[in-house]
Amino acid sequence: MNILFFSSMAGGPWGGSEELWAAGARAALTRGHTVAVCVFDWQPRAEAVAELERLGAEIIERPRREGRLAMAMALGLGQRRAWLERVERFNPAAVVLSQGSAFECVARRVTRPILGWLTDRPLSGGGLAQASSVLVNVVQFNRPGVKTGWLLRRRARALHARAGANLFVCRRNVEEAGEALGGGVPRAAVVCNPVNLRDVSALAMPRVDGVVRVACVGRLASAVKGQDVLLEALAIARGQGAQIELTLAGEGPDRATLEQQALRLGLVAGVEAGASRAVRFAGQVADVRGLWAENHALVLASHAEGTPLAMVEAMLLGRSAIVTDVGGCADWVRTGIEGWVVPAGGGAAKAALLAAALLELWRSRDRLAELGAAARARALTLFEPDAGGRLIMLVERLAEARG
């Protein structure tokens, strides 16, 4: 069977949202299917995309930006885009569409041609060979309370109605998408993402030695991930006696701003070698086990989430977590058992609540191993060790049912 994997990810070459479809593509190749992958034209390519090409997948790249003139010409003249022509020549029997949110694909001009192609209303001319394709729509994230115009809602509802399955990474994201769409999500189900761990055995808890070390893993983008609020909370907690040091693992557009904020809050004494620091900017960390071998707990201050891959990985390795009550976080973490769940919100109130949780972690430093063991036990009951394989088995069942 020809299976097309189409990602609408535009924030960078790779991210946690891409792991499920990529695992599905690898599983599909292993099971003897023919695979094509359609992604934006990032250079250099993400290693996972390059790996799929080495394994035999066809890589179809499309431009990240398309001007209004080019769009108007394509619409008005029936002009075919080269990447869409390649998709049509591939003639997929099934399409796995991976979106960051329920509205990501429909909101962007550069992905609108595939929307029209998938919903049998081509926006760039041509035939309707895709009408018999199975569509599986994977949504990785939703922002609570998002407001959209009627046109986006109509397009998104058409896409969700077309799908044989609409897969979300947590129950709350299904509810949020249903509210934003203006009336439930048809054929919705919850799936797990794979983890970036070849070895999921528990790590020994490092000694405290007078300092509790926590890590926040994620793109440095405060509007979503809330690292600015976390720095405020850390300053409050340290001011009340908590000897906690924070590692920020990840890169993103807000790094320089966050570095200046840490300096202003007195969390770093300066940039010179050997300067005292309560915050370390580690950049992108490839060695997940190495990160958690050095840290006692995870902390996330997100304003919105799916089910954070960083949380799942940390818990599997035996680390408790402080998380905000967004997305699927509270499905994994229970206050006082696997860590602490902080009510969602923003500003000074959220910083104070996060600071209180950090203080609780500091006061519970003698229980870190116990909390970590509970977190691991919880994660082992919830995570899916073969998420990509289960995704492809669903695609196969839907294709078989369609005949």
| Answer CATH for 2-194+384-402 from 2.40.30.30, 3.40.50.2000, 1.10.510.10, 3.40.190.10 | 3.40.50.2000
- Residue 131: what pLDDT? 54
**E strand map for 91-169:** 94-99, 134-139, 165-168
**Domain positions in the chain:** 2-194+384-402, 212-382
- Residue 67: what pLDDT? 53
Contact 313, 197 (CB under 8 A): yes
Q: Is the pTM of this model over 0.75?
A: yes
Contact 220, 253 (CB under 8 A): yes
- Residue 147: what pLDDT? 79
- Residue 247: what pLDDT? 97
Provide the 3-class DSSP secondary structure of residue 337. coil
Scan for tokens 């905000």, then name that residue.
324
HSE-up of residue 324 (Cα within 13 Å, Cβ side): 28
Positions of the chain with pLDDT lower than 50, given as ranges: 69-79, 121-130, 273-274
- Does 3.40.50.2000 match the CATH number of domain 212-382? yes
CA distances, 118 to each of 2, 71, 87, 258, 298 (Å) = 15, 18, 11, 41, 40
> What residues form DSSP beta bridges with 5?
37, 96
> Which residues, in sequence order, are CB contacts of 360 under 8 Å at separation 6+?
340
HSE-up of residue 297 (Cα within 13 Å, Cβ side): 32
CA distances, 344 to each of 64, 234, 304, 347, 359 (Å) = 33, 17, 9, 10, 18
Per-residue pLDDT reduced to its tens digit, 309-346: 999 999 999 999 999 999 999 999 999 999 999 998 76
Region label for 32, one of left (φ > 0), alpha (ψ between -120 and 50) or beta (otherwise): left
Which amino acid, residue 245? E
Helices 309-316 and 368-382 pack at an angle, to 10 degrees, of 120
| The domains spanning 2-194+384-402 and 212-382 adopt the same CATH topology | yes
Token representation of residue 72: 């108007």
